[in-house]
Structure 1
Amino acid sequence: MINRIKEIMKYKELLFNLTRKELKLKYKNSVLGFFWSFLNPVVMLLVYTFAFKYVLRIQTENFAVFLLAGLLPWTFFQMSVQGSTFSLISNSALIKKVYFPREIIPLSLVFSNFVNFLMTFVVLFISMFIFKVKISIALITLPLVLLIFLMITIGLCLLLSSINVVYRDVSHFVEVLFMAWFYLTPIVYSFDLVPDKLKIITMLNPMTLVVETLRDCMIRGEMPRISYLLGMTAFAIIFMLVGHKVFSNIEKIFAEII
């Protein structure tokens, strides 16, 4: 895998260009352009706040900030995984024409979504200012948390994008999976509300670890729990290794199948 990373680095200009293309295509012919990166989370915040705070009456302090800290990483994760699942098939013409590390295709989509994800932090920090959420020294751990989160996402994207080339049902399965996965992750509700006997099972969900760790270092002012960081790192290593292995094996027959 290290040799593969070195090879991808040789094609870093191609990766950069494809990432930039993904960013441009996302808002092509759009009047508001990149402003949608800020508008989307604001609209989702209003809808979920109305539904869960005022209709279902979930009692959580600074609910808007609490919700954004879970909703923003989830949106990045979902868009990256679902989008990358189709990425190799939709770029079949490019794959057949010229050689380059095929991982660059799903990676460019992940990185473009990651750029948007970082931009949406502006909305989160503004909401923290509005609701007077104090920024603590724990925020210095944010880059590490985001890096591990990015690795988890990349690993899963490599795995699913390659399998979908052989089994096209994967893309449909992913759509159904994410509908359930959203509610199995403490995004609109607090992890404290999960029954004690189900908390261990919930911790097997990597997005639970990600969301709770981000909330710790951003809005609770607490240093990330070592157990959570170790769990995230374990998921990142497993997903990266398995994703690389499966991708490498299926890559040999990409041109034939696509």
Structure 2
Amino acid sequence: MIERIKEIIKYKELLQNLTSKELKLKYKNSVLGFFWSFLNPVMMMLVYTFAFKYVLRIDTENFSVVLLAGLLPWTFFQNSVNSATTSIISNANLVKKVYFPREIIPLSLIFSNFVNFLITFIVLFLAIFIFQIKIGAAILLLPVVLVLLLGITIGLSLLLSSLNVIYRDVSHFVEIIFMAWFYLTPVVYSLDLIPDRFRNIILLNPMALVVESIRSVVLYNRIPEPKYFLGMLAYGIILLFIGSKVFRSIEKGFAETI
């Protein structure tokens, strides 16, 4: 894995160019351009706030901000994994023509989504200012949580993008899984609303650990429990190891299979 990382670093200019291309293509010929990065999470927040706070009457203080703090990392994760899963197939011509570490293709999509994700944090901090929520020293741990989220995303994306080359059903399966995964992650509800007997089961979900950790450091000025960090780290290492190993084993036949 270390040798592979060194090889990817050698091709860092290609990675930067593909990442930049993805960022530009996302809002190409769009009148509002990057403004959509802010508008999308705001519109989703308004819809979910109406549905869950005023219709289902979930009684959570500062519900809109709590929702947004969960919605932003989830949207990044879902968009990245979904787009990365089909990335090798979508770039078949590039894969067949020249040699480069094939991991660069899904990585460019993930990094472009990550840049967009960081931009949307402006919306979250604006909401924090409006609701007069105090930010404390715990927010210094936010970069650590985001790096762990990035590791989980990359590992899962490498695994699914390579498997999708052999089994095209994987991309359809992923879409269905994410529909259920969303509601098994405390995005539109707080972990406190879950009965104690089910809470530990929910915390087996890596995205539940991520969402709760982000809320803790950003909204509540609270250091997440050590088991949260250990859980995210374990998921990241395991997924990166399995994902890169499966990717490398299948990569040899990419050109012939696509």
Please classify the TM superposition score into its range, dividing by the shorter chain length: over 0.9
Q: What TM-score does the superposition give when structure 1 sets the normalisation length?
A: 0.99
- 1:224 and 1:106 map into 2 onto residues whose CA distance is 30
Tell me the equivalent position of 2:196: 196
Partner-residue secondary structure (3-state), 1:99: coil
Matches within 5 A, 1:1-150: 1-150=1-150
Q: Distance in 1 between matches of 2:195 and 2:245?
A: 37
Could you tell me the percent identity over the aligned residues? 70
Q: CA deviation at 1:199?
A: 1.4
Q: CA separation in 2, counterparts of 1:196 and 1:140?
A: 29
SS in 2 for 1:222: coil
What is the alpha-carbon distance in structure 1 between the residues aligned to residue 16 and residue 156 of structure 2? 21
Q: Secondary structure at the match of 1:32?
A: coil
For 1:201 and 1:138, locate their aligned partners in 2 and report how far apart those are by CA, in whole Å: 26
The one-letter amino acid paired with 1:89 is: I
Question: What TM-score do you get using the length of structure 2 for normalisation?
Answer: 0.99
Kindly report the root-mean-square deviation, in angstroms, between the aligned alpha carbons of the 2 structures: 0.5
How far off is 1:4 after superposition? 0.3
Per-residue CA deviation, residues 28-70 of structure 1 (Å, 9 max, x unaligned), is 1100000000000000011000000000000001111100000
Aligned partners of 1:141 and 1:224 also within 8 Å: no
Q: How far, CA to CA, are the matches of 1:47 and 1:200 in structure 2?
A: 29
Query: Residues of 1 paired with 2:152 and 2:107: CA distance?
Result: 12
Distance 2:200 2:222 in 1: 21
Aligned-residue offset at 1:175: 0.4
Amino acid at match of 1:147: V
In structure 2, C-alpha distance between the alignment counterparts of 1:255 and 1:200, rounded to whole Å: 43
Match of 1:226 in 2: 226
User: What SS does the aligned partner of 2:219 have?
Assistant: helix
Q: Give secondary structure in 2 for the equivalent of 1:33.
A: coil
- Matching residue of 1:240: 240
Q: Distance in 2 between matches of 1:108 and 1:76?
A: 14
In the TM superposition, 1:170-181 aligns within 5 A as 170-181=170-181
Q: Report the Cα offset of residue 224 of structure 1.
A: 2.1
Q: Which runs of 4+ in 1 moved over 4 A?
A: none
d(CA) in 1 for partners of 2:234 and 2:193? 26
Which amino acid is the alignment partner of residue 90 of structure 1? S
Q: Distance in 1 between the 2:177 and 2:194 partners?
A: 20
Task: Point out where structure 1 has 5 or more consecutive residues left out of the alignment.
Answer: none
Contact 1:67/1:187 (CA < 8 Å) preserved in 2? yes
Task: Provide the rounded CA distance (Å) in 2 between the counterparts of 1:176 and 1:224.
Answer: 30
Report deviation, 1:195.
1.8
Q: Is the 8 A contact 1:155 1:242 kept in 2?
A: yes
